[in-house]
Structure 1
Amino acid sequence: MNYLFEPVQMHNKPLVYGPTTRSTASYPGFYHWHQCCEILFIHQGSGFVIVNQKTYEMRPGMMFFFQPFQLHKIYASVSENTPYVRTMMFFDPHYFNQALHPFRARHAIFERLWRSAQPIEPIDLQFRLAWMEQVFTMYDDRCAVGKGINAEEDMIMLLLHILEAASDTELGRQQNKGAGIEVRPFSYAEQIMSWVEEHYAEDIHLEDIAQRLHLSKSYVSRLFQQETGGNLSEYITARRIKQACRLLQNSSHAVERISEEVGYPNVSYFIRLFKKVVGTTPLKYRSAARQQE
């Protein structure tokens, strides 16, 4: 049996959106998992999805939510007459856990999807299929003209549209009844990412993370590499630069202040690092971002 950890390359973004894709060639599928959350929405197609040792029928209007490190398999029965049409997106749940906080009802549904230890059934949105396709067409059009989904508000709005649709299903009704959830334990990598989310603006030392997890420093680094396929120091850098991009876009703060707020007291080092990661200087990034508004 083929199991594969597929690290998603987030490219310093909290959400990666794959425009609606159509397949008419064989799509056998394989067991795999990611370090982030994944949403799969079925526009057309037949087949099955296996998750939590259960098999679910694939049909138009079905939405599947996969938690980080959750093993799943997607099999589509594909031909010229029966294409497999889907929209997929991947996102950092720790980032959106904070970003969605002002939207209490929608945040509660998001948290149930992300944190529940109980298996999350596929969400049947067939009754909202036309509306969902309008939503995805809007974002597909943005990608087609080269804009992509880069602005924080676009990413938040996309998830809010999806959570709004989910609120009209059994999942939303459970939430409205106040039904509690059994929270699943975080993997080590998720615990590390959660700790970084709270402390990225500080002077981070590997020893601090190791003490929090009651593990050795070398074991922390090795665990993170094994579970995510990435380097811990690179993840910390990516999280800090991601926040710097957000502040450059949405505030008028000086570069010196932003540098300090994301954990780099040496502004010269921050500028060099920013250019290495993003490909341009902070001020040029801010200028380009505002020209696109």
Structure 2
Amino acid sequence: MTVEALDTHTSSLESIGELAQSLGEPENYFAGKDWSELILPNEVLCFLRSKQTEEDGWGAISTNSKRYDQHRRFVLLIALEGAGQVGVETSLWNLAPSEALVMFPHQAHYYAELADRFSWLFVTFDLPLAFWPEIQELRDSPRHLSEELLAKLDRFLKVWKEANGPQGALESSRILGEILLELASGERLQSLGQESDLVRKIRERVEANLKEDLSVKALADYLGVSGSYLREQFREGAGVSLGHFVRSVRLMQATRLLRDSSLSVREVAEQSGFGSFTAFSRAFGQVYGTSPSVYRKSVAGSPETVPGAPSSIES
């Protein structure tokens, strides 16, 4: 070791020694400084969408796909340029530039209307189930991005883009976690799109009567209109077919019951309004890529373990 290196080595030891002398005695020998309360999203992915397509696919957004999308990951959607309407479950939201919307895993969603010129940022990620309550306020609740949050988002994107290893990925995850927490504590936007009277009546009827006959004929009779008129007006107002809407609401109810109740899978099928256990299992598998029983076991742990790729059901 050279004289210069030896001096540096000695200086470092002295500095460490001084710091060690100033530490004092721990108040608790079994509880130290902890980072476990940090929200650290995992498998973070960022991409931009700025064009529409008439076809299904990953490269663009379609407002004419006539379907709900449902994914197993969180989606943070940020409008950078151009406004649009996003339907999430049974709500329709207006999303304007500098506004953000978080979609939780398996929330059915669709794009109802988009400006001719738009630029929307998508940030998708996984998050351990234990941290879901920390950002629960973001469910079905668009938020405005302050200047501070926009600056933090800019920093997050730069770190994420330049990350070539675990350290960069960890830092970008930490910043994203801060963004989510700040969004969750922010003011809710009153940006819910106005439903037509007919769509509202159908939505309320469906949500309150899942075990009843919700066929087009039954709903048309309830409202006193023709079936063809009902189909046309609902698709125009809600962006998806009536049959698809009813099926999606029933599946959303089923996932809640599987997650939060002790009902058997057959009882869940019945309470959700499926005519048979076979029909329920088939519809569930098409969307979630797994059986109701496996899904229930999966959500009892971490959402990252839920099997199945992102999928949708065509109307």
Give the TM-score taking structure 1 as reference length. Answer: 0.48
TM-score when normalising by structure 2: 0.46
Q: Which one scores higher on RCO, CA 8 angstroms, separation ≥ 6?
A: 2
